Amino acid sequence: MMDAAPRDLHPPIEPDARGRLDVGDGHVLAWEACGRPDGVPVVFLHGGPGTGTEPAHRRFFDPRIWRAVLFDQRGCGRSTPHGETRANTTDHLVDDIERLRRHLGIDRWAVFGGSWGSTLALAYATTYPERVTGLILRGIFLGTDDEVAWFLHEMGRFFPEARDGFLGHLPESARGDPLAGYLPLLMDPDPRIHLPAARAWSGYEGACATLRPVSQLAAGAAAAAGRADEDRAMLAVSRLEAHYFAHRCFLADRPLLGRIDADPRLRLLPVHIVQGRYDVICPPATAVALARHLGSSAMLEMIADAGHSAFEPGTRRALVAAGDRMGRMLQAGLHPRSF
């Protein structure tokens, strides 16, 4: 019998299936699957926009319970073309999730997403609620103007050194509107222009991601700054985040909380929200607001000693425990009602 107590990440696991899915517009998504072939289906949605999946992300899922599907969103990770902003909107990403579900022959699945992944999970669940069995969400971001303004203008109050580096990359005349200042730099085709901008943007975000700085990680990031693979990853994150922020996350006309209020079906699904108390990138007030709109179906777990990162000890233990609980419930056939 499996231990129901909170636990750390599950052991490393390799995918037993991989593929590439052409979703149109020149975009091809890289996907993988691991765990029991007949397990409870779940899809993992990474953050960013722009980060991509990592082997450690598979370890949130007990392979004795789940059939976990992970994929890199448009322009991210192993998907191609890398860092591409054309035909890259929230609606495109939602449609890609649904296309992947159909491609894999999955009827319904749970959705696991953190940070931007939580945004995308809610956008998908409010578009295709009949295809979702439950939600596990972390570091809630709803893509609102206030949240974007916080990231660009206010987050640095807690990390002034990182803010100074972020703004210092721009000419003084552009520092009042850093998004407008960074966009042309990040979109410039010349690596001599876009790579230094990407490093400055990513350095700012990375410095704010954890409650306690980890010296080894900081040293590793600094040493990796000149490596082509790290530069490639930083460019995708910074370029796609700036692209989405400039377009108000493509959600301004259909705010996520408004969608939840307009369609009560999402309130029938089990939802577990894990939120770091000291998450400076995605402050806890947003998670509280989401839980209130979802009502009794949502459980909000506030981690007292965590910031934004999914891999801080308290957060990763809570995510694994939430996944184990929801997986056992769905495995036992205690599915939410079909719509």
Residues 66 and 111 in one domain: yes
Q: In the structure, what pLDDT confidence band is assigned to residue 226 with cuts at 50, 70 and 90?
A: very low
The tens digit of pLDDT for each residue in 46-64 reads: 999 999 999 999 999 999 9
Q: Report yes or no on 1 lying in a domain.
A: no
- Give the list of residues 6+ apart from residue 218 with CB closer than 8 angstroms, or none: none
Residue 58 CA to chain centroid, in angstroms?
A: 14
Domain assignment of residue 128, yes or no: yes
281, pLDDT greater than 70: yes
- Are 50 and 180 part of one and the same domain? no
In a domain, 277, yes or no: yes
Q: Active-site residue among 62, 72, 96, 279?
A: 279
Inform me whether the pLDDT recorded for 111 exceeds 60. yes
38 and 170 in a single domain? The answer is no
Residues 165 and 66 in one domain: no
Round to whole Å and give the CA distance between 277 and 211.
9
pTM here is 0.93
Does residue 27 share a domain with residue 106? yes
Q: Is residue 312 part of a domain?
A: yes
From the candidates 115, 202, 238, 309, give the one annotated as an active-site residue: 115
Confidence of residue 228 (pLDDT cuts 50, 70, 90): low
Range of the domain at 193: 155-248
Binning pLDDT at 50, 70 and 90, where does residue 304 land?
Answer: very high
The number of domains in the chain is: 2
For residues 261 and 302, state if they share a domain. yes
pLDDT category at 217 given cuts 50, 70, 90 is very low
**Environment class of 304 (CB within 10 Å of its CB; exposed 0-12, middle 13-18, buried 19+):** exposed
Helices 228-246 and 191-207: angle between axes, nearest 10 degrees: 80
Question: Of 230, 248, 266, which residue is a domain's last?
Answer: 248
Q: Are residues 304 and 189 in the same domain?
A: no
Residues 230 and 101 in one domain: no
Catalytic residue status for 202 = no
CATH number at residue 129: 3.40.50.1820
Q: Is 8 a catalytic residue?
A: no
> End of a domain among 248, 273, 297?
248
From 202, 308, 309, 324, active-site residue = 308
CA distance 113 to 326: 14
Annotated active-site residue 309? The verdict is no
Q: Are residues 123 and 179 in the same domain?
A: no
Neighbours of 288 (CB within 10 A): 15
- Are 280 and 166 contained in the same domain? no
In-domain check, residue 3 = no
Structural tokens at position 183: 């966009």
* Last residue in a domain, options 248, 267, 296: 248
Q: For 33-82, give the secondary structure using H, E and C.
A: EEECCCCEEEEEECCCCCCCCCHHHHHHCCCCCEEEEEECCCCCCCCECC
Q: Are residues 176 and 285 in the same domain?
A: no
Residue 150 covered by a domain: no
Residue 230 and residue 102 share a domain: no
Residue 11 lies in a domain: no
Apex 178 CA angle, 176 and 184, nearest 5: 130
Separation CA 43–CA 33 (nearest Å): 9
Distance CA 73, CA 119 (A): 13
